Homo-oligomer: A and B are copies of this chain.
């Protein structure tokens, strides 16, 4: 986690020391033309308002519990859980406990 951006061929460890949460709420691991990976660290009760992105994404819970609110209802995720969201799906996020999760976003051009 020392380098601000991961270059192709580089390895980064995603796991914070046991019981700790990294101080930075959002750490962009890397972003290239087609793919962006962000490590999110949210304290209990913090949330991300409803939003969507143009490409498909995955949200992977690494520690703690995070709730993803979808139009179809909420999904509670624990460590090891992966959620797939098709392109454009609106979602909000709430940290049920201190949580870290990985967001992987395919970058597609917006269609006007």
Q: Which residues of A contact B (CB under 8 A)?
A: 6-15, 29-30, 32, 34-35, 37, 55-56, 58, 60, 62, 70, 72, 75, 77-87, 89, 102, 104, 106, 108
Chain B contacts for A30, CB-based, 8 A: 84
Q: Copy number in this complex?
A: 2
Could you say which of B12, B34, B60, B81 contacts A108, with CB atoms under 8 Å apart? B34
Could you say which of B9, B11, B79, B104 contacts A89, with CB atoms under 8 Å apart? B9
Could you say which of B89, B102, B106 contacts A34, with CB atoms under 8 Å apart? B106
- Asked if A12 meets B75 with Cβ closer than 8 Å, knowing A34-B56, A56-B32, A106-B35, the reply is no
Chain B contacts for A56, CB-based, 8 A: 8, 32, 34-35
